[in-house]
Amino acid sequence: MRKNSINYFPYNFMQKILIANWKMNLDVEKSLNLAKQYKKNLRTLKGLELVVAPSIPLIIPIKDIFGSAKISLSGQNVAAFSEGAYTGEVSAKMLKQIGCGYSLVGHSERRQHLVEADEMIHKKIVQSYAAGITPVLCVGESLKEKESGGRDAVIINQLQRALSKVEALPDKEIIIAYEPVWAIGTGVSVEREDLIHVERIIKRALSSLYSENFYNEKVSLLYGGSVNSVNVSVFWGIDKLAGFLVGTSSLEANEFLKIAIQMK
Ligand code: PGA
């Protein structure tokens, strides 16, 4: 075990948070180069929890690159099981051991392409807490669901199925990322008014699942879906919005920095 392998920077809840989801967009060399640029560009930013979610094999070398820079790491995914014969999976415990403080759970690309269902997402949340990792639960409706007027019900269902009967809650923090599927990687983002509405839906769902206190004190809300340095100011300042989950615009260090600067 590496000496400083568990020194991630625990997220102080209620602070601003910006997560870079690199997905599987870059190869090894490009990922390491981007990590170096992040370190150079982002190390002086204060008062903002910066989190990078690279592909699993890159987490350890990127942690070494970041060194003492206050940039945290997240898994893009986590296993639904604690350990055992699950070929190809990476446990929450291992993520924690290599320095991750977070894991994305239930990203729509996994729901869509890897047939990740609510039951599995629920288990991933449970595993994350058991290992001391803060889950970033992604929820959001597809275009079809939006157009048929089903958005609110979809979000409520996803939250209920993922989070009901999670023993660790309501005592633990959670990050909820509202990511409408139709906004991811499309260049089309949500309207400010719609985001304000969805915040209220999420508040109602989590308050009835646990309590309003839980929502106020333990839940951080992010928006994700075609966020960039031009449209970030449209959303920033919405009550309860703690930050963003950024894909495409995180693949360029300068663009990502421009987003971060506007959150100060
Ligand atoms: P995007 O991706 O910023 O490219 O829309 C966001 C995400 O999938 O987390």
Q: Ligand 1: distance of its center to the CA of 226 in Å?
A: 6
DSSP character at residue 156? H
Task: Write out residues with Cβ below 6 Å of ligand 1.
Answer: 21, 179, 184-185, 224-227, 245-249
Distance 151 CA to ligand 1 centre (A): 19
Q: Catalogue the active-site residues.
A: 107, 179
- 96: its two tokens: 């924690």
The encoded tokens of residue 2 equal: 């590496």
**Cis upstream peptide for 180 (omega within 30°):** no
Where does the pLDDT of residue 13 fall: very low under 50, low under 70, confident under 90, or very high at 90 and above?
low
Nearest CA to ligand 1 atom 2: 247
- The whole-number pLDDT of residue 130 equals 98
- For the entire predicted model, the pTM comes to 0.94
Per-residue model confidence (pLDDT) at position 46: 85
| Ligand 1, atom 7: closest residue by C-alpha | 247
Quickly state the pLDDT bin for 9 (edges 50, 70, 90): very low
What pLDDT, in 10s, does the model give residues 53-71? 999 999 999 999 999 999 9
In the chain, what percentage of residues exceed pLDDT 70? 95
The per-residue pLDDT for range 120-179, each reduced to its tens digit, is: 999 999 999 999 999 999 999 999 999 999 999 999 999 999 999 999 999 999 999 999
Q: How far is the CA of 54 from the centre of ligand 1 (A)?
A: 13
Q: For the residues 24-35, what does the mean pLDDT come to?
A: 98
Confidence at 12, pLDDT banded by 50, 70, 90: low
Residue nearest to atom 1 of ligand 1 (CA): 247
Per-residue pLDDT tens over the stretch 171-212 = 999 999 999 999 999 999 999 999 999 999 999 999 999 999
Q: Where residue 14 falls among pLDDT bands split at 50, 70, 90?
A: low
Nearest to 224 by CA among 176, 160, 178: 178
Q: How far apart are CA 253 and CA 163, in angstroms?
A: 34
Among protein residues, the one whose CA lies closest to atom 3 of ligand 1: 247
Mean pLDDT, the chain, as a whole number? 93
**Ligand 1 midpoint to CA 251 (Å):** 11
Calculate the dihedral angle through the C-alpha atoms of 37, 41, 47, 50, rounding to the nearest 10 degrees. -20
| 8 A C-beta contact, residue 77 and residue 90 | yes
pLDDT at residue number 43: 79
Q: Is the pLDDT of residue 50 over 70?
A: yes
Band (7; pLDDT cuts 50, 70, 90): very low
Residue entry with tokens 């350890």: 60
Per-residue pLDDT for 262 more than 70? yes
Of 51, 181, 226, the one to substitute when testing ligand 1's pocket (max ligand atoms within 8 A of C-beta) is 226
Axis crossing angle, helix 59-66 with helix 28-42, rounded to the nearest 10: 30
CA gap 50, 218 in Å, rounded: 19
Q: Which of 18, 19, 21 to mutate to test the pocket of ligand 1 (most atoms within 8 A of CB)?
A: 21
33 SS3 class: helix
